[in-house]
Structure 1
């Protein structure tokens, strides 16, 4: 509740929080949209491989051309404007930039940018959940060693879930489950970029008229994005993924506490302490009443009869017994809120969610039967979906993480719904990432 006061104090001293942004896509555009409205919040430089597209992002969010026409990073510092470049390394090398926002969405580039930023002594806000679930625990440890903050991005669902989890624990309740809503039914699992628009109910004409990325939308549809985000939440909170992967239990607001409690108490969880998804569709496709498709939630148990009575007295939505309650946030605004993470890192030296443990993984799982010699096409593609499972099981399987499943060749055939292993594919590139993954495996949490 004090971030704005801290920012005002810095402004009163004639200083600003200086930020570097990597990636000017949708998320980056949303970051820029709000940055110009926050006094003392200076986006010094934006790095994107496509400079003309980055400039279009500024135009789209109503920046004047003069605001993003600095000829150098030195000019940007001097007159409070923004420099646009295709060289991310220039942001790391600048002595005055305090916080880097990594918003490329590319897992391999994200990890490498994070490493460079951390080693340069910059705080890192990792918008790129794909990179975080791939190597987040290793990056968080490295950041701590360097004395900088490694943080999830506020406004995205994982950070909002972490905030709810923190509220439960700081209030003295027993945390039972945490998760988010999602438009999902079981048959969505095998969606491809060719079929994805049918799940949104959009016509070919509507798709042609918009700026839509079929693989990105398919990642949301087939459950891959959910697996990535819930594995990241598990690593940040110490919760677990179900051994078989996320169950996607259909549940509306009125049902959260009833559904997301242990089976031993009439719920649907194998045990307390799990992450999962509140699906907004029944298995037959019907829309769930009062679903939380865009929201996040936690369920928790009263520690004693007095707290249980208070649940009832203050109108908390509970299960039938009254012992289990739920709390939720109905919406999240993605990059429009990410300044909270930036300011928290710069002014409080504190992350808004951080992958401190290695408890979960998002692993590549076959969408069909494929022969040796075929190439996998990664997140949101035709060949694999991601399953969120405990990291201990990922290690036992020697599983291929979804972030390393793009354009890799199969050495042997795989079958539908099989977890793809590192032994199934040719590893010829990205060896630095594989070395980081091996180092991260040594951090495996067995508790």
Structure 2
């Protein structure tokens, strides 16, 4: 990110690096640790919290760090930071409470656990950075409101598709073009994929099978597009989005012609995706502009005659770009992408197979459910079950394959933080969501 690099170099030269606490040390967490250690002057990963110590230690070791200190108290963490020693702990609360840590990066991919981490970070006056579209797409509007009240930044990350899309969206707005569609380029969408079908792919890339299943079955893209919708005020054109499939390698400026323009050229615009287009896995924004002279210029600059103009970013580089998000938040008070207000789009649970009464729903990217986008006013009116709330719920009745689930269909486990946050979010934004209907 231009300007961020100079600001970080200045912090490095002044001997005042940004200090980051990271919760989670999985595949992406290890990548972030490596990136900060090897390519980001002016930033230091001070501590990693993980449920087990060994993955946290491994993340530091793979990043070339040594003299790693295991800490169990706030005092021990402060001493490690003062000595310049990387710290590891099982207790994420130490990171959220520690003086001198500027931002908490949450990269667990969990829901209830992550909700507790982010809530505590905000309560302790720490900027909250999420590599977690699932949490953001479920209670992000409420967490953003809490962060605003605490005077800290709440943001999802650049590098994942939502942050990359938001950069592009802001660019398009900045040149005077009105965005009408924010899109994602997918290589595959099959809602019936499961950890068994995805095991080989996961093993090849060193990832977890349920994680890559959530990419394939549409759950991940649904959360990503919901995050974008909530940041822009866009909606979906229909439940599940249009998601046309085109011939593999079709240039994105051609592929977008398969999207129904009548569904988005007027109004607040929509979020959607295309399967098979190139370059993938990139993102795109469709925009329009009324001024005839500006249309003439855009045609001269090879964007065509309009009325829709396609802007795209050919890649998203995940952990490589995360430090930019941290620096933007800490140094400039700028979120890469965050909810603009009330939820606009939600992700709802849908049966991946026929489900029986008494079944306990499994987790995201597993065997029983997949996620679909739906407009928030519809979700509220029909009492549809959010995808991130579904795991652990027990079915009151049988649900047919591809049928959406409702709160009336399930018994929700007692005592979960995510349910309390959902209830609070529904109450806080009740009037705003109802006004959209």
Alignment partner, residue 50 of structure 1: 52
Does 2:162 align with 1:158? yes
| 1:6 Cα deviation from its structure 2 partner | 2.2
| 1:250 Cα deviation from its structure 2 partner | 2.8
Give yes or no for contact 2:392–2:413 (8 Å, CA) kept in 1: no
Alignment partner, residue 387 of structure 1: 372
Q: Distance in 1 between matches of 2:205 and 2:94?
A: 33
Q: Distance in 1 between matches of 2:270 and 2:49?
A: 38
Q: Distance in 2 between matches of 1:217 and 1:208?
A: 10
Q: Distance in 2 between matches of 1:218 and 1:143?
A: 32
| 1:215 Cα deviation from its structure 2 partner | 1.1
Q: Distance in 2 between matches of 1:212 and 1:155?
A: 18
Q: Distance in 1 between matches of 2:202 and 2:194?
A: 15
Taking only aligned residues, the RMSD between alpha carbons, in angstroms, comes to 2.1
Does 2:422 align with 1:437? yes
Does 2:133 align with 1:132? no
| Pick aligned residue for 1:233 from 228, 246, 249 | 228
Give yes or no for contact 1:258–1:324 (8 Å, CA) kept in 2: no
Does 2:316 align with 1:332? yes
Does 2:252 align with 1:253? yes
Does 2:265 align with 1:262? no
- Runs of 4 or more, structure 1, over 4 Å off, are 206-210, 268-272
What does the per-residue CA deviation read over 1:126-177, in whole Å, with 9 as the maximum and x for residues that have no partner? 1111111111000000000011000111111101111111112122112110
Q: Distance in 1 between matches of 2:151 and 2:205?
A: 43
Moved more, 436-445 or 45-54: 436-445
Moved more, 427-436 or 91-100: 427-436
Alignment partner, residue 280 of structure 2: 293
Q: Distance in 2 between matches of 1:18 and 1:337?
A: 17
| Pick aligned residue for 1:417 from 364, 379, 402 | 402
Q: Which runs of 5+ in 2 are unaligned?
A: none
What does the per-residue CA deviation read over 1:98-152, in whole Å, with 9 as the maximum and x for residues that have no partner? 1000001001111111110000000000111111111100000000001100011
Q: Distance in 2 between matches of 1:208 and 1:355?
A: 34
Normalising by structure 2, what TM-score?
A: 0.91
| Residues 227, 269 of structure 1: alpha-carbon distance in 2 compared, 3 angstrom cutoff | farther
Give yes or no for contact 1:261–1:299 (8 Å, CA) kept in 2: no
Moved more, 216-225 or 236-245: 236-245
Question: How many residues are treated as equivalent by the alignment?
Answer: 421
Q: Distance in 2 between matches of 1:261 and 1:300?
A: 14
| 1:260 Cα deviation from its structure 2 partner | 4.2
Give yes or no for contact 1:177–1:261 (8 Å, CA) kept in 2: no
| 1:256 Cα deviation from its structure 2 partner | 4.6
Normalising by structure 1, what TM-score?
A: 0.89
What are the within-5 Å matches in structure 2 for residues 15-414 of structure 1? 15-36=16-37, 37-59=39-61, 61-66=62-67, 68-69=68-69, 72-185=76-189, 188-197=190-199, 202=200, 211-251=206-246, 252-260=251-259, 262-263=261-262, 273-280=269-276, 288=277, 291-316=278-303, 318=304, 321-357=305-341, 358-414=343-399
What does the per-residue CA deviation read over 1:35-84, in whole Å, with 9 as the maximum and x for residues that have no partner? 1132220111100011112222233x341323x34653223322323101
Give yes or no for contact 1:256–1:299 (8 Å, CA) kept in 2: no
Give yes or no for contact 2:356–2:399 (8 Å, CA) kept in 1: yes
Alignment partner, residue 283 of structure 1: none
| Residues 128, 207 of structure 1: alpha-carbon distance in 2 compared, 3 angstrom cutoff | closer
| 1:422 Cα deviation from its structure 2 partner | 1.2
